[in-house]
Chain A
Amino acid sequence: MRMPVRFIAAGFASAALVSFIQGFAPPPDGPETVRIAHASVAYREPGDFLRDGAPVNGPRREIRADTPFEIMKRQVTRGEYDSCVAGGGCRALDGGGDADLPAVGASFVDAMRYAAWLSGTTGALYRLPTDREWAIAAGTRFRDDAYTEVSDPKNPSKRWLALYDAEAAGEEAVDPTPRPAGAFGANERGLLDMAGNVWEWTSTCFVRHRTDSLTGAASEHENCGIRVAEGRHRAYLPTFIRDPKAGACSVGLPPANLGIRLVREERSGLDGLRNFLGF
């Protein structure tokens, strides 16, 4: 289900007003969202993990949505994105694209700008999901990115070779041609096209974790120049990358496309109005 772009554009001004009149209803003209509550998923922490200097898999555990959140039912379309361009909030994407198809070729920076613009025009607060939120929303479509347990500090090549074989055996190439919303089906939460052929940016930064098994000392080093994108597999990409074909995944083929799906903060309509009006 897709909200016509022009209708959204026409509805920007009225949205906040209607919210105000209706009291605490969410903005009616924003893209359709799905509320995620009481959901959980088996989640592996993203990033690199070094134990005594040797690469190992991150910890995996069940995580739950502590507070419910609303996430877009489908990915942002090219038409919606181009409205942001027309409104001066976003930079034009490279190349053409059908307005009804998902926006592809968007960098993390583009996604952040789109979220800011959409928040400003709808009066609701939109933002990128965290990687945890994305995983919870994806549910059964979330893919564990630990491909091997092999880790031999004495022979680092064993893990390299095991990961390489997992890469070769793992994922089938996916046709990168953008497809209409719903082409990859809905997951058990009703979200369309999770883990289809468009990867989605998250706000989660790349982190390297180090632990020393002798002393128990642990440290983290964060690099927010690289963010997590989620899809058929987890990808770590520099924030300026629009076309991921050169590859950024530790394992697997590079993402086919990079697109946008946003979380809408659950706030009152009055907050939204305040946000819209800037006070």
Chain B
Amino acid sequence: MITRRTALIGTAVAAVAAAAPALAQEQLAAAAAGTASADGLPHVKAKLVAPPAVMAHEQVATGGPKVVEFTMTIHEKQIVVDDEGTTFQAMTFDGSMPGPTMVVHEGDYLQLTLVNPDTNTMPHNIDFHAATGALGGAKLTFINPGEQATLRFKATRAGVFVYHCAPEGMVPWHVVSGMSGTVMVLPRGGLKDAEGRPLRYDRAYTIGEFDLYIPRDEDGNYKTYESPGDAYADTIEVMRRLIPTHVVFNGAKGALTGDNAMTAKVGETVLFIHSQANRDTRPHLIGGHGDWVWEAGKFANPPERDLETWFVRGGSAGAALYTFRQPGIYAYVNHNLIEAAELGATAHVKVEGEWNDDLMTQISGPAPIAV
């Protein structure tokens, strides 16, 4: 937390450096000394978008640290999570599961105004795994319906980090009701391989995986509730058995398939950000790989190469970079295939381009067995 003293020092530094072209360097030096402040830094407003899209951003930062302002409104709403019409009382950041991916650079300040409209029924807050102190900011953002709060934290570590709702006594329920998302803190110089060579991407997608625990009636049919509160007691009972009824990407079975499938072209490099705020998972791109994978999602560590499947710990986000080399339909799954095929954790990537016979050729199609 910024004390009055450090704030004043920061102001002084900023004032001295205000007219100097070396402002960014001053700020970085100050940051290194632990005496920096956001005061005097330029403010920019970020435009959030619903996942799987990721907000427009620079991969390599231009200029010095900034204060990046975000606003998110919490929506409690009923959604449908599968093709059988199963309803779910979702709680969401900005209306989507996962919440929007917030992108800043290391050394930037992330400033969030969190709004809890009075049409909601629950108090909410936000715990940023990228932030330091106050339970990730949860202590400073606890708001009732009809309130809002603004938090600023310094992005001191590069990586993809989960954020989630964490109201005391109800943390897991809010999280498995949909309240999580990702903050991506990029190194100012962009992503790099182990040798320090730059890694770039043409597109970025966020996959937020959710384990859902929807109560059933005596006949085995999923129950419908009027509000999150109505669903609470039954839901906790299902949660405590630790067997999800659904495991879905981006809020519903099929949220990233068909018309909503992700797209890419042969030759393009895609950054897949995968978050799971509650439970372990193991992303796998069927027919492809992870060329460069930050399995634990933290960019100060060198990425692993050529992974077939990567492990995302519950309560974290991972990032994988892949250049598509062959056209077709790729399935992006949780490679617990029961969860992928039976519980919903499947996404698709439509990739257009020229077929590469060198990489794969069907020598002989299905035919009767040669005698």
Contact = CB atoms under 8 A, between A and B. Distances in A.
Contact of A53 (B327, B328, B348, B362): B362
B133 to A, nearest CB: 46
A161 B263 CA distance: 11
B80 to A, nearest CB: 10
Given A157-B327, A221-B368, A96 B258 contact: no
A245 B220 CA distance: 16
Contact of A168 (B259, B342, B364): B259
B85 interface: yes
Given A160-B328, A161-B327, A161-B329, A219 B368 contact: yes
Nearest to A159: B328
Nearest to A156: B355
Interface in B343-371: 348, 350-355, 362, 364-368
Contact of A155 (B84, B327, B348, B367): B327
Contacts of B342: 246
B354 A155 contact: yes
Nearest to A221: B368
B254 to A, nearest CB: 9
Contacts, number: 61
Contacts of B341: 246
Given A156-B355, A168-B259, A246-B341, A161 B328 contact: yes
B220, B355, B362 — which one has the most chain A CB atoms within 10 A of its CB?
Answer: B355
Contact of A161 (B259, B326, B352, B366): B352
Interface in B283-319: none
Nearest to B258: A168
A253 B83 contact: yes
A50 interface: yes
B118 interface: no
Nearest to A219: B368
Contact of B365 (A53, A157, A164): A53
Contacts of B219: 95-96
B212 to A, nearest CB: 17
Interface in B238-263: 258-259, 261
B84 A156 contact: no
Contact of A95 (B220, B327, B362, B366): B220
Nearest to B219: A96
A173 interface: yes
Contacts of A161: 327-329, 350, 352
Given A155-B355, A168-B261, A50 B365 contact: yes
Contacts of A173: 83
A189 B342 CA distance: 38
B220 A175 contact: no
A9 B163 CA distance: 63
Nearest to A175: B85
A70 to B, nearest CB: 35
Contact of B355 (A48, A154, A245): A154
Interface string A142-183: 000000000000111110110011011100010110000000
B85, B365, B368 — which one has the most chain A CB atoms within 10 A of its CB?
Answer: B365
Contacts of B354: 155
B278 to A, nearest CB: 25
Contacts of A48: 366
A126 B16 CA distance: 95
A208 interface: yes
B355 A157 contact: yes
Contact of A176 (B84, B328, B352): B84
Contacts of B351: 157
A175 to B, nearest CB: 7
Interface string A202-240: 000000101000000001010000000000000000000
A36 to B, nearest CB: 33
Interface in B71-118: 83-85
Nearest to B363: A53
Contacts of A95: 219-220
A64 to B, nearest CB: 32
A168 to B, nearest CB: 4
B255 to A, nearest CB: 13
A157 B258 contact: no
A164 to B, nearest CB: 5
B118 to A, nearest CB: 34
A157 B367 contact: no
B230 to A, nearest CB: 23
Contacts of A175: 85
A160 B354 CA distance: 13
A245 B342 CA distance: 9
Nearest to A210: B367
B368 A156 contact: no
Nearest to B260: A168
Contacts of A210: 365-367
Interface in B195-238: 219-220
Contacts of B84: 176, 245
Given A95-B220, A173-B83, A210-B365, 15 more contacts: A95-B219, A96-B219, A154-B355, A157-B327, A157-B351, A157-B352, A157-B355, A161-B350, A161-B352, A167-B258, A176-B84, A208-B366, A221-B367, A221-B368, A246-B341
11 contacts: A157-B326, A157-B329, A160-B329, A161-B327, A161-B352, A164-B258, A164-B348, A167-B258, A175-B85, A208-B366, A210-B365
Cβ-closest 4 pairs across A and B = A157-B327, A168-B258, A157-B328, A155-B355
